[in-house]
Amino acid sequence: MSSQETIMVFMKKQIHFLCSQKKASLLEGVKKSAKEVVGVEVVMHVKAKNDNGTTQMDAIFRAVHDQSKDTPVVGHIAREAPEGKLLETWAEKLKDANFQLSDVTNGFSDLFAIKDSTELTNVKKAAFLTSSVMKHFVVPKLEKVIDEEKKVSHSSLMDDTEKTILEPARIKVKLKAENVDICYPPIFQSGGEFDLKPSASSNDENLYYDSTSVIICAIGSRYNSYCSNVARTFLIDANAMQSKAYEVLLKAHEAAISALKPGNKVSAAYQAAIAIVEKDAPELVANFTKSAGTGIGLEFRESGLSLNAKNDRMLKPGMVFNVSLGFQSLQTETKNPKTQKFSVLLADTVIVGEKVPDVVTSISSKAVKDVAYSFNEDDDEEEERPKVKVEANGGEALSSKATLRSDNQEMSKEELRRQHQAELARQKNEETARRLAGGGAGMNDNRGAVKTTGDLVAYKNVNDLPPPRELMIQVDQKNEAVLLPIYGTMVPFHVATVKSVSSQQDTNRTCYIRIIFNVPGTPFSPLDTSNQKFQGSIYLKEVSFRSKNPRHISEIVQMIKTLRRQVASRESERAERATLVTQERLQLAGAKFKPIRLSDLWIRPPFGGRGRKLTGTLEGHTNGFRYSTSRPDERVDIMFGNIKHAFFQAAEKEMITLLHFHLHNHIMVGNKKTKDVQFYVEVMDVVQTVGGGKRSAYDPDEIEEEQRERDRKNKINTDFQNFVNRVNDLWGQPQFKGLDLEFDQPLRELGFHGVPHKASAFIVPTSSCLVELIETPFLVITLSEIEIVNLERVGLGQKNFDMTIVFKDFKRDCPSD
């Protein structure tokens, strides 16, 4: 066995070392322990600096011959080429010696294949680092480059990723940098040139991310010399062929991992994968990789543990594999030569467990929804049409002047636009007809529904009336009644029957009070079931009283108005609560799982009451959020299942950073019924005191104050971003997959000014909505619910035009801008 400039020969009762004097002195300490523990003598053969070592080799060969009577059998690692002059000399002499040589590569492979607990811990730490770099650095980096359309080379991405691996603190991974290294330089490939081998390199070409392009990224890192590996493929506006190839590969990759169970043969992994490909995409079998990966540990590729179709070794708990599968050099029909040829690759580090395999790089998702990006859905149609049109008009345009050619192109563009609009209209009409024919019209309109309130009861019987004091108007606030003296008797009226009350005074200091009641048949009177119950009854419409006591009249009017307002408010809230959909109960986070917390937030709509407004804390629990202030009655629960859209908008040119939830069903915030709940922090004072006198732009106090404001804004934005990231991770768990929740961020660069309500506002699109979240009332329009958008007054010379949105639900009002 050899290691650079050291040769070790193991015999039954002796171990021979051929090395330099320095190494020999280091190995002196082994002599005593080897003798005591295993009864083996350690023999040193010291080689001088300029000596080729042949004399010492001869002495070792003589010792081997002395130990064996027949031809000695010597085991050696035949598959490794010797490195260095000493080892080359040793290899030559070994061939010429009278030994029977035997390859012991597989024996050592078996010996090192099963890792102990310490080794597995090292592998897991390496895998955690690798997958964390992929999830928290590579994916956000690629998304930012593509989103901002930057030109970045594969090699620069490789350098940045390598630096991140070597400095784990960058991505908040708590591993010591001195224990970390790379297995190979990170690999980034795109633009039609792909090599699925670990020996591939990142070229100097720019990252290519146009429509139907594919990006492959592979990362390998070491911890305490133990290797791990992960590879992911990212699809940009993939076509059907690319999507199918990736989905089949993902299924095959999962099948290969599932086959890594104790008792199975090593070959079972590749056989399980190829069976999936043969069944789901037989046309891709020829492009499938010839193995499903290799063993991994101290070496990136452990010989003898290749996951191919012929390896008959048995799988045992503690083995570690780099499960790597891909399709090489696939062809697809696209308009861009750089995307016609593509490859897909997936790799994970997997530990064979006692019962099921442990995918230690699983925190880096490979699900289709997390690797397939869609940016321009309608571009293909739009690109096809101009191509056809240009060919049709090409012959006519050749002989024309530049101006005529320009006019012709303008005409063709306008004609193309009309054709495209006509095609879209045809598709939309067909879709609407199908939906309405399927019973989706839902034309039952609830408008004009009868208001249902309980029967108005002030007193259950005559005995409950308060004893008459004087024949004068009284207000019984406890029973919500007004008692009026009519023909010498106090007659009670429930305050809800009062429509209005007023008073006036004439010149003789005589006061009049006039009370008008709600009766059937009067315009604008609320429809009430009690009115319909007693249709044959006679109603009192109006009553007037005269008094010499103006003070009493004034008090009565004020008391009736106050009581009427309170009752109306209570009944309104009760009616709103009656229409609410019952929500599930919030399950508070237990001791093991601390709630995700964000403090010092304001809420919109605000809680009612006349006291001073207080900030509160938003907490993410097991199945929903809870916002609460220090007041016990100020609390709002938002269930994850009731959230339709969630938005995070960091403060850029605005004064606030906010989280906004648009809900499926209304909830009550205080006494307000709402479908939109927002939590925000003011990043700077909305009102600033302007001091007297002019202040210099270079005033140190002014500069320091601006810097403080910037730091505060950045800290708030970071706190919100961390909260959003943790909630997104929570929503990514299997139990929330069906909700399809993720915080969406408005795209400011695509925003425009409009008037959705009464005031001008900056409206911004997100990936799924059109929103305005700064000014109230908020605007949240789900794009998938829009039937058609109608534009009016659009002209070249006009900056303003009208836009009306028609929803698929024809009962909804159409917002105009």
**pLDDT tens digits for range 438-492:** 654 444 444 444 444 456 788 887 777 887 777 888 888 888 888 888 888 888 8
Q: Which CATH class is domain 117-373?
A: alpha beta
- Proportion of the chain above pLDDT 90, given as a percent: 32
Helix ranges, 283-367 (H): 337-340
Round the average pLDDT of the chain to a whole number and report it. Answer: 83
CA distance 66 to 653: 87
Q: What average pLDDT does this structure show over 80-106?
A: 79
Tell me which of 448-462, 507-521, 552-566 is least confident: 448-462
Report residue 433's pLDDT band, with 50, 70 and 90 as the boundaries: confident
- Range 171-198 average pLDDT: 90
Backbone angles phi, psi at 450, to 5 degrees: -75, 135
Alpha-carbon span 468 to 281, nearest angstrom: 93
For 4, the token pair is 């650079």
What is the rounded distance in angstroms from the CA atom of residue 653 to the CA atom of residue 658?
Answer: 13
What Cα–Cα distance (Å) separates residue 787 from each residue in 312, 431, 771? 60, 10, 17
Rounded Cα gap, residues 559 and 376, in angstroms: 64
User: In the structure encoding, which two tokens stand for residue 715, read together?
Assistant: 């800290």
Most confident range, picked from 200-209, 245-254, 729-738: 245-254
| Cβ(323)–Cβ(301) below 8 Å | no
Contact 503, 545 (CB under 8 A): no
pLDDT at 296: 93
Written as one string, the DSSP assignment of 549-600 is -HHHHHHHHHHHHHHHHHHHHHHHHHHHHHTSPPPPPP----SSSPPEEEEE
DSSP per-residue string spanning 503-526: EEE-TTS-EEEEEEE--TTSTTPP
pLDDT at 491: 87
What integer pLDDT is reported at residue 288 of this predicted model? Answer: 94
Q: Which residue has the tokens 């809230």?
A: 573
Of 28, 114, 41, nearest to 317 (Cα)?
114
Confidence of residue 137 (pLDDT cuts 50, 70, 90): very high
Counting residues of the chain whose pLDDT is more than 70, the rounded percentage is 87
Contact 184, 83 (CB under 8 A): no
At 363 the three-state DSSP class reads: coil
DSSP 8-state secondary structure symbol assigned to residue 171: G
Give residue 79's pLDDT band: very low, low, confident or very high (50, 70, 90).
low
Q: What average pLDDT does the segment 127-136 reach?
A: 94
- On the question of pLDDT at 182 being above 60, the answer is yes
Q: Residue 28: left if φ>0, alpha if ψ -120 to 50, beta else—which one?
A: alpha
User: For 625-634, how does the pLDDT look when each residue is reduced to its tens digit (9 = 90+)?
Assistant: 999 998 888 8
What pLDDT score does 530 carry? 56
Contact 217, 190 (CB under 8 A): no
pLDDT at res. 423: 84
- pLDDT for the residue 441: 42
Q: How confident is the model at residue 584 (pLDDT cuts 50, 70, 90)?
A: confident
pLDDT of amino acid 452: 44
pLDDT band at 531 (very low <50, low <70, confident <90, very high): low
| Fold of domain 471-578 | PH-domain like (2.30.29)
Mean pLDDT highest for which of 52-66, 174-188, 681-695? 174-188
Complete DSSP assignment for 190-241: -TT----STT----SSBP--STTEEEEEEEEEEETTEEEEEEEEEEES--HH
Number of Cβ within a 10 Å radius of residue 112? 16
Distance CA 615, CA 603 (A): 8
Give the model's confidence band at 395: pLDDT under 50 very low, under 70 low, under 90 confident, else very high: very low
Token readout for 94 is 């070994």
Q: What is the pLDDT of residue 190?
A: 93
Cβ distance 218 to 227 under 8 Å?
A: no
Contact 230, 218 (CB under 8 A): yes
C-alpha span between 153 and 143 (Å, rounded): 15
- CATH class of the 746-817 domain in this structure: mainly beta
The answer to pTM > 0.85 is no
Is the model's pLDDT at 382 over the cut of 70? no
* Span 544-569, average pLDDT: 87
Rounded to an integer, the average pLDDT of 748-762 is 86
> Which of 54, 57, 88, 51 shows the shortest CA–CA distance to 74?
57
The CA-atom distances, in angstroms, between 566 and each of 466, 570, 695 are 22, 6, 52
Cα 48 to Cα 23, 54, 61, 518: the distances in Å are 12, 11, 19, 117
Least confident piece of the model among 55-69, 495-509, 513-527, 784-798: 513-527
Domain 580-687+705-737 of CATH type 2.60.40.1220: no
Higher pLDDT, 622 or 693: 622
Mean pLDDT of 598-625: 87
pLDDT recorded at residue 412: 66
**What number does CATH give the domain 2-103?**
3.40.350.10
Q: Are strands 372-373 and 226-236 parallel, antiparallel or unpaired?
A: parallel
CA Rg value for the chain: 40
Encode 459-507 in three state secondary structure.
CCCHHHCCCCCCCCCEEECCCCEEEEEECCEEEEEEHHHEEEEEEEECC
Which of 220-224, 549-553, 777-781 shows the lowest per-residue confidence on average (mean pLDDT)?
549-553
**Helix H or strand E encompassing 395:** helix 379-397
Q: Is the predicted pLDDT of residue 142 greater than 70, yes or no?
A: yes
pLDDT of residue 693: 52
Residue 214 pLDDT exceeds 90: yes
* Contact call for residues 297 and 224 (beta carbons, < 8 A): no
The two three-digit tokens of residue 146, written as one number: 């593509």
Looking at residues 689-697, what average pLDDT do you find?
A: 54
Q: 253: pLDDT confidence band, cut at 50, 70 and 90?
A: very high
Across 656-671, average pLDDT: 90
Question: pLDDT for 287-326, tens place per residue?
Answer: 999 999 999 998 888 877 889 998 888 899 999 999 999 9
Query: Which distant-in-sequence residues (6+ apart) come within 8 Å of 253 by Cβ?
Result: 273, 323, 325, 346, 348, 366
